[in-house]
Every structure is written in C-alpha cells, then in structure tokens.
Chains A and B, each alone.
Chain A
Amino acid sequence: MAKTLHVALIGNPNTGKTSVFNQLTGLNQKVGNYPGITVEKKTGTCKLSDEIKARITDLPGTYSLNATSADEQIVVEALLDENPEASPDVAVIVADVESLKRNLFLFTQIKELDTPVILAINMADNMEKKGISLDVKLLEKQLNTRVALISARKGTGIDSLKKLILEYQNLPKNPVVNISEVDPEYFKKLEQAFPGKNRYKQWLRITQNFSFTNRKVNPSENLDKTLRKDKTELKRMQQKEAILRYLFINKTLKETYRQDVNAAKDLRSRLDQILTHRIFGYVLFFLIILLVFQSIYSWSSYPMDLIDSLFASMSQWVKNTLPDGALTDLVSEGIIPGIGGIVIFIPQIAFLFFFISILEESGYMSRVVFIMDRLMRRFGLNGKSVVPLISGTACAIPAVMATRTIENWKERLITILVTPFITCSARLPVYLIIIALVIPDQTFFGFNLQGLTLMGLYLLGFLAAVISAYILNKILKIKNRSFFIAEMPDYKLPLAKNIGLTVYDKTRDFVVGAGKIILAISIVLWFLASHGYSEQFHNAKEIVLAQPDSNQLDEEALETAIASYRLQHSYIGILGHTIEPAIRPLGYDWKIGVALITSFAAREVFVGSLATIYSVGTDDEETIKNRLAGETNITTGKKTFNLPTGISLLLFYAFAMQCMSTLAVVKRETNSWKWPAIQLFFMSGFAYIVSLLAYQFLK
C-alpha cells in the first residue's frame, strides 16, 4: 500500500505559497467550500515517488504564531492540534528571497514545535536581478534545516523540494532559537507543569488571544497560579521573544545573505507613486472598477444569449423526442429551465472572479486598502473592508470570509453585516431579466437607460452598505482597541495558472452549489404546479369550456386559458394565493410570490422558478424573457411585469437578505445565530417597506 505523508505549507502572506501549492498539486486539489463547508484549509495530493504520495495542506499566510486575526488563528490551531492525524509529518516554510529576514521569524517559531521543517526559498529566479547572493550551505547549517531554492512562477526547484520532503526523517528537529531564554525560570516551571509536552506549544496556548473574534476564552484560567501572568507581562515576554529571534536572524543573515542595494527596486516605488497618489490613486481606482464592470457586461452578453437559446431549444428537443408523459414534462418543464437559469450566469461569474483574482494577485488590492482606509473609517469600517466589499460583487460568501484579515472585531463584524447589501452575482440574473422587461431600451444623454439602471442598482447596494455601516457603528457598543497594519506586497504579474484555478474553482462551486438547490426546487415546484387535489384542478377543461365567453376564444387561447386555470388550482396555485395578500401591496401576483419564496434559498433561483412555473403547460419554444414579457395579469388585464412591479422587485432584491449560504457563513464567522438573524429580519423588512412605498408611489 502506498504511504501518504502529511505536509503543511506555511509562510508569510504574499510569498507565493499558493503558487507553490498549485505547482505541487496541480488540479489534484480539494477546496472545502461553500455552502456550509469551511474554506479555511486547502488540501491537495502530490506524488513524491512511485510509492509515496503526500497530502498537502495550504494554510493561510501568517507573519507569526502569535495570531492577531482570524485567518492567522487557523494556522495556530492547525499546528497546536494534538490529534496525530492532524499534525503534519513535515512543515514546509515558503519564504520570499527578498524579505527573508521577516520570513525567517516565522521559521524560527515553527522550528520550536518538534516538527521537521524544510525552508523553501521562493522567487529564487529574481535573485540576480535584485542583486542578492545567498550562501545556501552555510544557511542550512545555521538554521539547522534543509533549504530548497525554488521558483513557483517558473516551476524550477520543485523536484528538489519533493526530494527533501521524501527525506523528511533525516531532518533535525531541534530549535534554533530557544523560547526559554525569554524567561528561563518561567519556562522551567512550565515544563514541570506539563511534562513531556512541547514547551513552545504550551506557551502559544497561554498567549493566544481572541480579541478579533467574539469568543471569550481565557486560556490561562486553568493554569497553576505560578504560571499565570497578566497581559502586560505576557506582552513584554512576547517582545523579548521578537528581539531574541531577530538577533539570531540578523546574525545568520549577516554571514549568508548579501544584497546589492543599488540593484533595481524601481518598479515598486514608481507604481506606488501613481497608485497611492492622493488624486491619481482615486481616479485610477475608479477607472479600474468602471473598466471591470463594463467588460463583464459587454463580454458576457454573447455567451449568455447563446446559453439561453440553447436551453430553450434543448427543452423543446426533449419534448419532441421523448414519449409524452410525466417524466418528459418533469425534464422539459422542470429540470431544464431550472438548470438553464443557473448555467446562464457562468460567463459573468467567471469574468468577475477573473478580475478580482487579478486585482488581488497583482498586489493592487493592498493599495486600494491604503487609499480607502480613511474614508472607510468614517463609516465604522476599515481600509481592509474594501476587499470584502469588492469581492462581494461576486459573492457574499467568500467576501464574508475575506473579513478575516481585519484585526478589529467591531470593524470586522460591521463589514460582515453590511457585505450582503453589495450587489452579488446572484442578483444579476434577477436584475437583468427585470430590467430587460420593464426599462425601455433607449438612450438617455447618450447612455443606455438599461445600463444606467443596472449601475444605479450597484450604487444603491453600495450606499446601503456604507450607510448601514455608519448606523451600526453608532449603535454597536463593542469596546475594541483598534490597530491597523496592512502589508504592502511587491507588485507581481499575476500567474495564469493561479488565476485559472481560482476562476475554475469558484465557478464550479457556484454551479454545483446553486445547481443542487435549484434542481431540487425546480422538481418540487414542477410537481406542485402540475398536481392538485381539488375538483377545479381535475376538471379544468370542462369548467373553462363551460364559461360563457369560452366559445369566443380560438383554439390556442383556449388551451392557454385551461392551462392557467389548472395552474391556479394546483398545489402551488393554492399556496401562492394564500400568500398573495402579503405581497399584493408590493405589486406582485402569486406566481412572483412563489418565485420570491423559493429565492430565499438563493436569489438566483428566482429566474429558474419563474421559468418553471410559467413553462408548465406551454408547448412552444420560448426563452425565459419572452415568456415573462407575454404574461398578463388576469385581474387587471395589464402586463404582469410593468414598471411599478419591476421597480418594486428590483428594490426588493437589492435589499432583502435572501441567501441561506450567506446566513450560514455569517453564523460560522460570528459564532452565533444572533447576527444572521438580525441580517435576515432587518434587511428583508427594510426591503419590504421600500418596495411597498415604491410600488404605491409609482402605481
């Protein structure tokens, strides 16, 4: 049987750790992802030799094992895990050759954990250009480890890294800096209190703080009195630790590392002068965002039209080819329109993730954090809130998780709470179809009116987010001493492989995750729409024919009348009519009401649900849009999707909290049901009021 090693990849942020992970694992990676599952640990497999495989875990980037934010906490928890299954056989520290000094800080900490450690120095291909020379042999000796010079970008050195991993049993485990030197007496006591345990692990357990979460754990509570220290004392010891480690690192690097300072460092400073400039910085940021959204819409409209008509004809093909019956109906009227409603958004979601990962990989996102911090702080947010707010345009779930880098709990909580207001890709389908139905395709001062409406909706979402952040900042009484440290990484040309993998992963997750819900809901909806228990449902044909004006209808109109009569008296019809009083003031009929309810599972379900409800009983090949456009309201005789109803729906979707996966992830990140419940009720209640006012005003 093949043996599997467990390898943990650890390193500072922006050292190219994920590139190394991608190089080692390729497509053999598994990202535990939403909905519901954690995204915190990426794992993948890598074949080291014919017999031995490695299971590789990519941990979030961290500067130190003294965690100050939630993503760093994950690293510490993974390393402190007592379960032998969870603890790695070997730790690979990925370091950037240019900031080796800071990277070695983490290295010396990991080296104290009794785990074999390999140092992988990344971006080694840049050494010459940056005027760096390195005495690897001496460095290995000083650091008591093995060093691999690699370039994840060019794919060099990966084989020698694999070889080092294979020989992990020969690696020395002893530390290079001894934590005991901070306070020999204290650590002696600590060792006596926990015999046989690693003293550094014990120390980390004692000093862990949770100020960035709402967890209230006091790790020193169970400690012996002599081991207890107050916060200030612990902090002093940690500072002593930092000084001790840097003393060692400086001494080591003095002998092994040389950099010719005159060698070019120019690109960074030149780009920084422009991108963080007090005027040009903002102008460029605005232009970049504009460009991103512009290209998302113009580029993705072609594949979207194609997909739409493809699914319409697929439905028709199934109907014509398969024998008539309940199963055919289920496939052609339930499943295919439902799935089509989700597949159509693949192009846009892929583009969105493509741009966002480029902004992050290139190092530009950190500059946005820099120029936006002051503005964001006015609203009780943090410069780092920009990242979730931007990536929220793709999906709130990864965005909520991206708040983990925010050190301040209050600012983090506010960011989490307001992120779902940002127009996410799941709202797009709803917006696009309603805009196409109710907003005229005209130009207004040279701009396309439909495009302007869409932009207005994005703006509305953003304003809702910052205004509610402002209010939350005033209301929430959370004491939290704020500090802010944002790393400014070097600019990098984004790696095609990394971008490609991100886009592939996220798009697949979207399709699979949402697809499952939509498939299930489509089937249920189809069943409810094509079955009923009442007299009226079963005898629909006779009842409609018996109506006095039925003989004036031609054959086609008669058939439509029968189908809609049946639908009204199906299970779904009865359900819809029950809730109609609540939604009629907003301008919705019962069919929209049903679609609205189903979209509390996920917004994008709305279009699929409408497609399913409206396609039951019809025979003609139609795209979703044309079908909805032709729909008229029986009681008023007007079009169902007119301007007041459309605007009311748009506003409802802009504000309402309709995504179970987001609620689940907020629950996990805030550790309580309180916050997701507040989001659900306040956002949806607000949406109801605004839509009500809008419809009554426009009617």
Chain B
Amino acid sequence: MPAKTGRGIWLTTNCLPWCYSTIMKDTIAQLKKGEKGIIENYSTDLIPVKLQELGCLPGNEVHVIQLSPFKDLFYLNINGSFFAIRKETAALIEIAKVF
C-alpha cells in the first residue's frame, strides 16, 4: 500500500532526527522511470505556485512516467495531473520512495 509506506517513512524521519538528512535527500530527481514516491516537503519559496495548483502538494503520490534523454525533463503524474518539469525543479521536491 503506497500511502502507508509514505506515512511510515514520515514517522521514522520525525522520530529519528539523525537519519532525517539521509532519508530526506530523496527528491523527485532521484526517481527512475516508472518509480513512485509520496511528496513530503519542499521549500515554498523556490517552487512555483503553479506546481502546487497542479496538485503537487505534500501527501500526494508522484509517478515518473518518462525521462527525457540525458534525464533532463521529468514527465510526471501527480494527483492525476500529467506534466513535465526540469530536473532542477524536480530536485527541490522531497519525496519518500514507494516500492
């Protein structure tokens, strides 16, 4: 169950501050084609509001549908919205991988 896994990691990260940084390093940019994750956190100041309006909000699932050549663009499905973002934006959105 994807949702459960996400919450699990969220709890772990809160209980164990020392591993916070290591786990939190995962961002959308680390995902491979076909992989999924749950959006956890991002810096509001850096992320365009438009992404949030498209449904890129904490707790929502993100699914990487396709990577462009050289892994430059990420074609995502978040919350039923299909769109592509550049790698530097993807690297700002922290996620917990769903296996």
Are A483 and B55 in touch, CB under 8 angstroms?
Answer: no
Determine the chain B residues whose CB is within 8 A of the CB of A487 once the complex forms: 81-83
Please encode chain B, from 81 to 95, with 1 for each CB lying within 8 Å of some chain A CB and 0 for all others: 111111001000000
The answer, yes or no, to whether A246 is at the interface (CB within 8 Å) is yes
State which of A19-27, A97-105, A425-433, A509-517 sits at the interface with chain B: A97-105
Determine the chain B residues whose CB is within 8 A of the CB of A235 once the complex forms: 44-45, 49
The answer, yes or no, to whether B54 is at the interface (CB within 8 Å) is yes
Instruction: Report which of B48, B66, B89 forms a contact with A276, defined as CB distance below 8 A.
Output: B66
State which of B3-11, B18-26, B70-78 sits at the interface with chain A: B70-78
Q: What is the CB-to-nearest-CB distance from B42 to chain A, in angstroms, rounded to a whole number?
A: 10
Are A485 and B75 in touch, CB under 8 angstroms?
Answer: no
The answer, yes or no, to whether A560 is at the interface (CB within 8 Å) is no
Cβ-closest chain A residue relative to B76: A488
Are B86 and A373 in touch, CB under 8 angstroms?
Answer: yes
Determine the chain A residues whose CB is within 8 A of the CB of B51 once the complex forms: 485
Are A269 and B79 in touch, CB under 8 angstroms?
Answer: no
Q: How far is the CA of A487 from the CA of B83 in the complex (A)?
A: 4
The answer, yes or no, to whether B57 is at the interface (CB within 8 Å) is yes
Instruction: Report which of B49, B53, B65 forms a contact with A272, defined as CB distance below 8 A.
Output: B65
Provide a sorted-by-A list of 30 A–B residue pairs whose CB atoms are within 8 angstroms: A63-B53, A64-B49, A66-B50, A66-B53, A101-B80, A101-B81, A102-B55, A102-B79, A238-B52, A239-B49, A239-B52, A242-B52, A246-B55, A246-B57, A269-B65, A272-B75, A276-B66, A278-B69, A370-B68, A373-B68, A373-B86, A374-B68, A374-B69, A483-B85, A485-B51, A485-B85, A485-B89, A487-B81, A487-B83, A488-B82
Determine the chain A residues whose CB is within 8 A of the CB of B45 once the complex forms: 232, 235
Q: How far is the CA of A63 from the CA of B66 in the complex (A)?
A: 23
The answer, yes or no, to whether A236 is at the interface (CB within 8 Å) is yes
Instruction: Report which of A68, A102, A483, A486 forms a contact with B80, defined as CB distance below 8 A.
Output: A102
Determine the chain B residues whose CB is within 8 A of the CB of A232 once the complex forms: 44-45
The answer, yes or no, to whether A327 is at the interface (CB within 8 Å) is no
Are A276 and B75 in touch, CB under 8 angstroms?
Answer: yes
Cβ-closest chain B residue relative to A366: B84
Cβ-closest chain A residue relative to B92: A483
The A483-511 residues at the B interface (CB cut-off 8 A) are: 483-490
Instruction: Report which of B49, B80, B82, B86 forms a contact with A242, defined as CB distance below 8 A.
Output: B49
The answer, yes or no, to whether A523 is at the interface (CB within 8 Å) is no
Are A63 and B65 in touch, CB under 8 angstroms?
Answer: no
Q: How far is the CA of A276 from the CA of B73 in the complex (A)?
A: 11
Cβ-closest chain A residue relative to B73: A373
Determine the chain A residues whose CB is within 8 A of the CB of B85 once the complex forms: 483-485
Q: How far is the CA of A232 from the CA of B69 in the complex (A)?
A: 34
The A342-370 residues at the B interface (CB cut-off 8 A) are: 369-370
Are A101 and B84 in touch, CB under 8 angstroms?
Answer: no
Are A272 and B68 in touch, CB under 8 angstroms?
Answer: no
Q: 19 other contacts beyond A236-B44, A488-B84, with CB at 8 A cut-off?
A: A63-B53, A68-B49, A101-B55, A101-B79, A102-B54, A102-B55, A235-B44, A239-B44, A243-B57, A272-B65, A273-B66, A369-B84, A373-B86, A374-B68, A374-B72, A374-B73, A484-B86, A484-B89, A490-B82
Q: What is the CB-to-nearest-CB distance from B28 to chain A, in angstroms, rounded to a whole number?
A: 13
| Those 4 A-B pairs whose CB atoms lie nearest each other, nearest first | A278-B69, A488-B82, A242-B52, A64-B53
Interface residues on A, range: 35 or more
Q: Is the interface of B mostly helix, strand, loop or mixed?
A: mixed
Are B81 and A483 in touch, CB under 8 angstroms?
Answer: no
The answer, yes or no, to whether A371 is at the interface (CB within 8 Å) is yes
Determine the chain B residues whose CB is within 8 A of the CB of A102 once the complex forms: 54-55, 79-81
Determine the chain A residues whose CB is within 8 A of the CB of B83 once the complex forms: 485-488
Q: What is the CB-to-nearest-CB distance from B13 to chain A, in angstroms, rounded to a whole number?
A: 21
Q: What is the CB-to-nearest-CB distance from A229 to chain B, in angstroms, rounded to a whole number?
A: 14
Are B81 and A66 in touch, CB under 8 angstroms?
Answer: no
Q: How far is the CA of A246 from the CA of B82 in the complex (A)?
A: 17
Determine the chain A residues whose CB is within 8 A of the CB of B84 once the complex forms: 369-370, 373, 484-486, 488
The A224-247 residues at the B interface (CB cut-off 8 A) are: 232, 235-236, 238-239, 242-243, 246
Are B68 and A485 in touch, CB under 8 angstroms?
Answer: no
Determine the chain B residues whose CB is within 8 A of the CB of A273 once the complex forms: 66
Q: What is the CB-to-nearest-CB distance from A551 to chain B, in angstroms, rounded to a whole number?
A: 76
The answer, yes or no, to whether A383 is at the interface (CB within 8 Å) is yes
Are A483 and B48 in touch, CB under 8 angstroms?
Answer: yes
The A574-628 residues at the B interface (CB cut-off 8 A) are: none
Determine the chain B residues whose CB is within 8 A of the CB of A370 once the complex forms: 66, 68, 73, 75, 84
Determine the chain B residues whose CB is within 8 A of the CB of A105 once the complex forms: 53
Q: How far is the CA of A297 from the CA of B23 in the complex (A)?
A: 58
Are B86 and A483 in touch, CB under 8 angstroms?
Answer: yes
Q: A242-B53, A278-B69, A483-B86 are in contact. Are A99 and B80 (CB under 8 A)?
A: yes
Q: What is the CB-to-nearest-CB distance from A80 to chain B, in angstroms, rounded to a whole number?
A: 18
Q: How far is the CA of A123 from the CA of B29 in the complex (A)?
A: 34
Q: How far is the CA of A486 from the CA of B75 in the complex (A)?
A: 9
Q: How far is the CA of A374 from the CA of B52 in the complex (A)?
A: 24
Please encode chain A, from 159 to 195, with 1 for each CB lying within 8 Å of some chain B CB and 0 for all others: 0000000000000000000000000000000000000
Please encode chain A, from 179 to 214, with 1 for each CB lying within 8 Å of some chain B CB and 0 for all others: 000000000000000000000000000000000000
Determine the chain A residues whose CB is within 8 A of the CB of B49 once the complex forms: 64, 66, 68, 235, 238-239, 242
The listed residue with most B CB atoms (<10 A of its CB), out of A278, A373, A483, A489, is: A483
Determine the chain B residues whose CB is within 8 A of the CB of A276 once the complex forms: 66, 68, 75
The A621-679 residues at the B interface (CB cut-off 8 A) are: none
Please encode chain B, from 58 to 72, with 1 for each CB lying within 8 Å of some chain A CB and 0 for all others: 000000011011101
The A261-289 residues at the B interface (CB cut-off 8 A) are: 269, 272-273, 276, 278
Instruction: Report which of A68, A236, A246 forms a contact with B48, defined as CB distance below 8 A.
Output: A68
Q: How far is the CA of A467 from the CA of B8 in the complex (A)?
A: 52
Q: How far is the CA of A490 from the CA of B72 in the complex (A)?
A: 22
Q: How far is the CA of A350 from the CA of B89 in the complex (A)?
A: 40
Q: How far is the CA of A243 from the CA of B75 in the complex (A)?
A: 23
Q: A102-B80, A370-B84, A374-B69 are in contact. Are A63 and B50 (CB under 8 A)?
A: yes
Q: How far is the CA of A374 from the CA of B51 in the complex (A)?
A: 20
Please encode chain B, from 28 to 47, with 1 for each CB lying within 8 Å of some chain A CB and 0 for all others: 00000000000000001100
Q: A370-B84, A487-B83 are in contact. Are A64 and B50 (CB under 8 A)?
A: yes
Q: How far is the CA of A25 from the CA of B57 in the complex (A)?
A: 38
Determine the chain B residues whose CB is within 8 A of the CB of A488 once the complex forms: 65, 75, 82-84
Are A374 and B70 in touch, CB under 8 angstroms?
Answer: yes
Determine the chain B residues whose CB is within 8 A of the CB of A489 once the complex forms: 82
The listed residue with most A CB atoms (<10 A of its CB), out of B44, B57, B81, is: B81
Determine the chain A residues whose CB is within 8 A of the CB of B70 once the complex forms: 374
Determine the chain B residues whose CB is within 8 A of the CB of A369 once the complex forms: 84
